[in-house]
Amino acid sequence: MRLACVQLDVAAGAVADNVDRAVDRVREAAADGADLVVLPELFDVGYFAFDTYARAAEGLDGDRLARFADVAEEAGVAVLAGTIVEDLGASAATGVEVPATEGLANTAVLFDADGTRRLVYRKHHLFGYGSEETDRMVPGERVPVVEIAGVRVGVTTCYDLRFPELYRGMVADGVECVLVPSAWPYPRVEHWRTLGRARAIENLAYVATVNGSGQFDSGTLCGRTTVYDPWGTTLASSDEGPTTVAADVDPDRVADVRAEFPALRDRR
C-alpha cells in the first residue's frame, strides 16, 4: 500500500479554504500513485481556533465529509479525513452510534477508494494543557480496525500517542498500520519524534504521525510528519513546511518482523 501523509498548511478558522486545499492535495497524491491519503487533525478549522469549533461542526452525513467521499471515489483512493469537528447531535439524528447525544467530537473518518465510509474514530484523550479541547469536546469510546488496500489499519489522534495501552487493544485486532492525524505544536518536538517511534517499536507495526503546518495565536505546529516501520526506523519524514510524505506499507513486513522478534508473544 502506498501511503501519502499530507502535511497541510492550515489557516485558523478558514474552513472553506482549508477544505478546498485538502481536496486538491488528495487529488495530487492519488495522481502520484497513493492508495491511502491521510490528512492532519482538525485540518478544517485549525486546532487552536477554538471559537470556531461550534460554528464549523457538522454530522457525519454533512457536506464537508461528503466532499471527501466524493474525491475518494473520483480519484480511486482511500482517504482519512482526519480529523474534523463533528456535531454529535447531527450524527445521532441520522442513526449513527455516538458517545453522547449532543456536543462536539474530534473525529477522524476513513473512506475507502469507492467512497464508502469504513471507519469513524473519535479522539479518546482530549488535551487540556494550554488548550480548550477538554472543555469543548466529548471523548470517543471505540477503537476500530479495518482493512484498507490489503492492510489492517487503525487510527488514533495526536495526544493519544502518550497512552500506549490504546495501541495494545488495536494489536489484538490485528492492526498493521496506525495513522495518527495530529496538530502537534512547538516546543515538544522531541516528544513528537519519540512517541511515534516508540508506538511503532513496541507494537511492531507501521505508525504514520501526520501533522499540520501553520501558526496560530496559541501555538505553531511543528510539522515533521513521519512514517515509521515496524522496527521504528524512519521511512520518510518532513520539516515544518507544507508537503506530502509518502512511504510504502507492507503487511508481510509486519508479519516477518513479528515472527523474527516475538515480543508481542512474550507479553505476560
- Give the phi and the psi of residue 255 in degrees, each rounded to 5: -60, -40
**Is 222 designated active site?**
no
39: amino acid identity, one letter: L
Given 5, 58, 86, 123, which residue is catalytic? 123
**Angle at Cα 158 formed by Cα 156 and Cα 163, nearest 5°?**
70
Please, which residues bridge with residue 3 across strands? Answer: 36, 247
Sequential DSSP letters for 53-120: HHHH-B-TTSHHHHHHHHHHHHHT-EEEEEEEEEEHHHHHHTT---SSSSSEEEEEEEE-TTS-EEEE
**Is 240 designated active site?**
no
Count, residues in the chain:
268
Taking the CA atoms of 204, 267, 193 and 208 in sequence, report the sign of the dihedral they define: positive
Given 158, 176, 177, 222, which residue is catalytic? 158
Helix, strand, coil in percent for the chain, rounding step 5: 30, 30, 40
**Is 123 designated active site?**
yes
Catalytic residues: 41, 123, 158
